[in-house]
C-alpha cells in the first residue's frame, strides 16, 4: 500500500471522533497523528484491528497543536506517580519531534498503571505519548548517556526514519526475487570479524559487522567489505545478532564510509554494543593506535538503530522480513531469521548460541516456522568438545577458588565484560547467599564489568525468571555485598588480603586482566582461572599450552621478563557457546528439512568436523566455507 492507501484504510478503521490528521512512516512502523486520542482507547480492539488492517506496527501520536506545554505535562506525570516508582529529577525527557515523553523508572509498572491507565491518562489529557524505560538498579552513566542521546539525535533520527519508511513501506519495487546468494565476509573457519552478506537480485543485507581484537594485522582484523562488489549506497540494511565486538565492533565504520540505512538489533544489544564501541575507541587511543571510527560515527549508529524484541516480525526491505529469537548467549543475543521474497527462501543465522539453560538465560529458541538454509556457529564443534554439567562446573570453580584463598593467595579470573563476568558473579553469589557474614573475602569487579552488569538490571525481562524476580524484588544478586567495584590502585589489591578478581579482557589480550597478571604471575600462591574461549594467538591460549616465560612492559614502558609461577586452570562450562552435543541437538530440534547447512565462527578443523557430522546426521548438504566463498542458496 502507498501512503494514501494506508491513510484511507486507517480512516476506515479508526473512530471518526479521533480526528486523523496525518499518517507518517517511521521506519518499518506507521505513526498515526490524532486530534483526540480518547475515542481510540475506548475500545481495546481498535489497536488490534488497525495493526491487522495495515499489517504494520502502529504508533499513536497526537498532532503538535493539541499537545499541552511540557511543564503542564510534567506536573500531571508527577501527580500520577509515587516516589516508590523511582523516577528522579532528570528522568523525564520530552522529544517533540516524535510527540513523546520518555520516563525512566526503577519500577515501570507503577508509572504505567493497571492496564496502562496512567499512560492513557497522560496521552488523553496532554497529547504526549508516554514511553517508559526501566532504570538500572546499579547506577550507570553510560545507560543514561545512551538514552539521553535520543533527544539530541531526534532531528537526524526523524529524517532517517522517514526516508527509510518510504523505502520499505511504500516504494513500488517491480519484479520478484529471482535468486538468493550469500557471501562469507568474516568469521568463516576463524573466530572474529563476523560478517555475512545476504544478497538477492533486488537487495543487499549484511548480518553482523565485527572486528578481530586478537590481531594487529589489518588484513585479518576486519570483514572483507571490499570484496562485496557493492557501493555503500547499495547496502539496504544491517542486522546485528549481539553486542560482542567480534559481531558489532566494526559497525560504526560503515557510517564513517557514508552508510545511511538502518541497523536492526534487540534493545539490550543497541546499548551494549554502543558501550563496547566507545570502549574500542578509548583503548586504541590509549595504546597510540588510530581507531577505525570516531565518537560521532558511534552516535550516528545509535540514531540509525531500530530495535526489535524477540518474536516481532519486521519488514527490513520490501522483500525481506526479520524475526529475532533468543540465542541464550549474552544479554539480548539473537538468532536471525530472514523470510526472503514471497516465500522464496528462509534463512537462519545462529549468531552465537547456547542451547542449554545457563545461570542467566533460557536456552536458544528452536521454534522457526520454516528454514531452508542454516548458518551455524561451531566454536566448540570438534568431537572432544563436551562441556561438564553446570552444577559440576560451579562446584569446580568454588572449590578451586576456596583452596587458593585459604592458602593465602588471590584468584584472577579473566572474563569478557558481557556474559561470562555476570555468569561467574552469579555462581559465586549462589554459594555465599545467606552466609555473607561467614565469607571473609572480597570479589573485586574491575574494568567495564560493573557497567555491563548494570545493563542486566535495566533489561531483566531478557534474563531467566528466577533472576528476573530477584531484580524486580530489590534483591539483585549482582548487588551482593561480596562484590566490590575497584576504586583503588590495583597494586593495593594485589598486595592486600586474599581475594577473587574478575577483570577483562577474557583472553588476556590487554586491559585490566593483563595488568593483574603482570603483578600476580610470579607468586605461586596465586591462581589463574580460564572460564571462556581462548583464541589461538592469545596469551591465554599460550598459558593453557604450557608457556611460562613472557616479555612484558612495565609502567615505565621498559621490557622485562615475566615468569609464570602462579597456578592456572581451565574451568570448562562457563562459555556462552554450545558444545558439540548441544549444537547437534539445536539443529535436530529445529525440525526442518534443510537444503543447506553452513558452519562458521570456529577454528577451521572444528567447522569442518561439525559440517561433516551434520551432513551425515541430517542427510543434507553441509559445508564449512572459507572467507570470500559465495553460494547461491535459492
Give the tens place of pLDDT for each residue, 238-267: 999 999 999 999 999 999 999 999 999 999
For residue 171, what pLDDT is reported? 55
- Taking the domains of the chain in order of start, what are their residue ranges? 3-64, 67-135, 176-384+577-632, 390-570
For residues 588 and 578, give the distance between their C-alpha atoms in angstroms, rounded to a whole number. 14
pLDDT digits (tens, 9 = 90+) for 9-57: 999 999 999 999 999 999 999 999 999 999 999 888 999 999 999 888 9
Q: Model confidence over 419-464: pLDDT tens digits?
A: 889 999 999 999 999 998 889 999 999 988 999 999 999 999 999 9
For β-strands 320-326 and 334-340, DSSP reports them as antiparallel
pLDDT band at 306 (very low <50, low <70, confident <90, very high): very high
Question: pLDDT band at residue 181, thresholds of 50, 70 and 90?
Answer: very high
pTM: 0.93
At residue 505, does pLDDT exceed 90? no
- Provide the pLDDT for residue 173: 60
Beta strand pairing status for 180-186 and 313-317? unpaired
pLDDT at position 174, please?
A: 67
DSSP letter assigned to residue 428: H
Model confidence at 73: pLDDT above 60: yes
Cα–Cα distance measured from residue 332 to residue 518, given in angstroms and rounded to the nearest whole number = 34
Grid-cell match 553469589, residue found: 429
| CA pair distance 522, 147, nearest whole angstrom | 44
Q: Sign of the CA dihedral 299, 451, 419, 283?
A: positive
Q: Are 483 and 461 in contact (CB under 8 A)?
A: no
CATH of domain 3-64: 3.30.300.230
Query: How far is the first Cα of the chain from the last one, in angstroms, to the nearest whole number?
Result: 27
**Whether domain 176-384+577-632 has CATH 3.40.50.720:** no
pLDDT of residue 631: 96
| pLDDT for 172 beyond 80 | no
By percentage, how much of the chain surpasses pLDDT 70?
98
Q: Is the pLDDT of residue 220 over 90?
A: no
Angle ∠(44,45,46) on CA atoms, nearest 5: 95
pLDDT digits (tens, 9 = 90+) for 77-114: 999 999 999 999 899 999 999 999 999 999 999 999 99
Query: Residue 170 above 70 pLDDT?
Result: no
Give the model's pLDDT for residue 606: 97
Order across the sheet with 237-239: list the strands: 305-307, 263-265, 237-239, 204-207, 195-200, 180-186, 630-632
Query: What is the number of other CB atoms lying within 10 angstroms of the CB of residue 537?
Result: 15
pLDDT digits (tens, 9 = 90+) for 273-287: 999 999 999 988 887
DSSP state of 170: I
Q: Rounded mean pLDDT of 183-208?
A: 96
pLDDT of residue 561: 85
* CB of 566 closer than 8 Å to CB of 550: no
Contact status, residue 483 vs residue 425, Cβ threshold 8 Å: yes
Average pLDDT value for residue range 320-347: 96
Q: Say what the pLDDT of residue 486 is.
A: 94
Superfamily of chain region 67-135: K homology (KH) domain (3.30.300.20)
Write the pLDDT tens digit of every residue in 511-547: 899 899 999 999 999 999 999 888 777 888 889 989 8
Q: Which residues share a beta bridge with 130?
A: 101
Same fold for the pair 3-64 and 390-570: no
User: What secondary structure, in 3-state letters, does 288-321 show?
Assistant: CCCCCCCHHHHHHHHHCEEECCCCCEEEEECCEE
d(CA 329, CA 166): 35
Q: Cell match 524476580: residue?
A: 469
The pLDDT of residue 6: 87
Q: Which residue has the higher pLDDT, 56 or 354?
A: 354
Which pLDDT score, from 0 to 100, does residue 289 have?
86
- Tell me what pLDDT residue 362 has: 95
Identify the pLDDT of residue 241.
98
Rounded mean pLDDT, 196-225: 91
- The C-alpha cell of 98 is what? 516524535
Question: H or E stretch including 504?
Answer: none
Give the count of beta carbons closer than 10 Å to the beta carbon of residue 605. Answer: 13
**How does residue 556 score in pLDDT terms, banded at 50, 70 and 90?**
low
CATH of domain 390-570: 3.40.50.10890
What pLDDT sits at residue 214? 75
Model pLDDT, residue 420? 87
What 3-state class would DSSP assign to 139?
coil
Amino acid at each position: 500500500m502507498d501512503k494514501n492507501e494506508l491513510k484511507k484504510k486507517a480512516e476506515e478503521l479508526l473512530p471518526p471522533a479521533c480526528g486523523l490528521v496525518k499518517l507518517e512512516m517511521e521506519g518499518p512502523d506507521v505513526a498515526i497523528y490524532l486530534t483526540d486520542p480518547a475515542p481510540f482507547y475506548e475500545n481495546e480492539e481498535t489497536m488490534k484491528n488497525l495493526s491487522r488492517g495495515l499489517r504494520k506496527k502502529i504508533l499513536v501520536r497526537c498532532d503538535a497543536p493539541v499537545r499541552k506545554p511540557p511543564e503542564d505535562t510534567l506536573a500531571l506525570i508527577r501527580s500520577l506517580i509515587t516516589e516508590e516508582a523511582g523516577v528522579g529529577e532528570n528522568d523525564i525527557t520530552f522529544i517533540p519531534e516524535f510527540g513523546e515523553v520518555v520516563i525512566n523508572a526503577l519500577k515501570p509498572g507503577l508509572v504505567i498503571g493497571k492496564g496502562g491507565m496512567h499512560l492513557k491518562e497522560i496521552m488523553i489529557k496532554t497529547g504526549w505519548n508516554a514511553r517508559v524505560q526501566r532504570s538500572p538498579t546499579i547506577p550507570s552513566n553510560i545507560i543514561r548517556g545512551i538514552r539521553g542521546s535520543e533527544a539530541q539525535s531526534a532531528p537526524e533520527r526523524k529524517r532517517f526514519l522517514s526516508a527509510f519508511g518510504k523505502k520499505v513501506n511504500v516504494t513500488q519495487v517491480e519484479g520478484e526475487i529471482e535468486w538468493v546468494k550469500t557471501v562469507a565476509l568474516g568469521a568463516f573457519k576463524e573466530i572474529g570479524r563476523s560478517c555475512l552478506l545476504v544478497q538477492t537480485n533486488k537487495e543487499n543485507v549484511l548480518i553482523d559487522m565485527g572486528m578481530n581484537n586478537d590481531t594487529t594485522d589489518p588484513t585479518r582484523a576486519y570483514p572483507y567489505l571490499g570484496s562485496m562488489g557493492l557501493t555503500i549506497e547499495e547496502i539496504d540494511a544491517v542486522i546485528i545478532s549481539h553486542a560482542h565486538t567480534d559481531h558489532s565492533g566494526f559497525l560504526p565504520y560503515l557510517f564513517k564510509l557514508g552508510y545511511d540505512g538502518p541497523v536492526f538489533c534487540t534493545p539490550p544489544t543497541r546499548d551494549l554494543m554502543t558501550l563496547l564501541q566507545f570502549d574500542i575507541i578509548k583503548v586504541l587511543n590509549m595504546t597510540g593506535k588510530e581507531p577505525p571510527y570516531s565518537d560521532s560515527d558511534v552516535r550516528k549508529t545509535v540514531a540509525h538503530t531500530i530495535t526489535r524484541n524477540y518474536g516481532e516480525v519486521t519488514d527490513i526491505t520490501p522483500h525481506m522480513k526479520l524475526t529475532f529469537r533468543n540465542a541464550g548467549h549474552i544479554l539480548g543475543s539473537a538468532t536471525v531469521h530472514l523470510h526472503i521474497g514471497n516465500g522464496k527462501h528462509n534463512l537462519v543465522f545462529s549468531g552465537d548460541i547456547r542451547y542449554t539453560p545457563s545461570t542467566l538465560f533460557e536456552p536458544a529458541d528452536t521454534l522457526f516456522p520454516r528454514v531452508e538454509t542454516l548458518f551455524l556457529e561451531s566454536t566448540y564443534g570438534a568431537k572432544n568438545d563436551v562441556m561438564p554439567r553446570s552444577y559440576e562446573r560451579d562446584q569446580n570453580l568454588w572449590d578451586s577458588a576456596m583452596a587458593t584463598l585459604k592458602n593465602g593467595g588471590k584468584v584472577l579470573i579473566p572474563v569478557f565484560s558481557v556474559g561470562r563476568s555476570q555468569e561467574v558473579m552469579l555462581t559465586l553469589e549462589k554459594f555465599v547467599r545467606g552466609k555473607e557474614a561467614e565469607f571473609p573475602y572480597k570479589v573485586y569487579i574491575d574494568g567495564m564489568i560493573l557497567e555491563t552488569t548494570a545493563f542486566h538490571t535495566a533489561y531483566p525481562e531478557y534474563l531467566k525468571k528466577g533472576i528476573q524476580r530477584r531484580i524486580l524484588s530489590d534483591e539483585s544478586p549482582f548487588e551482593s555485598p561480596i562484590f566490590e567495584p575497584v576504586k583503588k590502585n590495583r597494586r593495593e589489591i594485589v598486595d592486600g588480603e586474599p581475594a577473587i578478581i574478575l577483570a577483562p579482557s577474557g583472553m588476556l589480550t590487554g586491559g585490566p586482566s593483563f595488568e593483574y597478571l603482570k603483578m600476580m604471575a610470579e607468586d605461586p600462591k596465586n591462581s589463574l582461572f580460564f572460564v571462556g574461549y581462548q583464541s589461538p594467538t592469545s596469551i591465554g591460549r599460550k598459558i593453557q599450552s604450557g608457556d611460562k616465560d613472557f616479555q612484558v612492559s612495565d609502567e615505565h614502558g621498559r621490557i622485562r621478563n615475566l615468569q609464570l609461577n602462579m597456578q592456572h586452570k581451565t574451568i570448562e562450562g562457563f562459555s556462552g557457546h554450545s558444545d558439540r552435543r548441544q549444537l547437534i541437538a539445536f539443529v535436530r530440534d529445529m525440525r526442518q528439512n534443510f537444503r543447506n547447512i553452513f558452519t562458521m565462527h570456529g577454528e577451521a578443523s572444528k567447522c569442518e568436523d561439525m559440517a561433516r557430522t551434520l551432513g551425515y546426521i541430517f542427510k543434507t548438504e553441509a559445508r564449512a566455507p572459507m572467507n570470500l566463498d559465495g553460494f547461491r542458496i535459492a
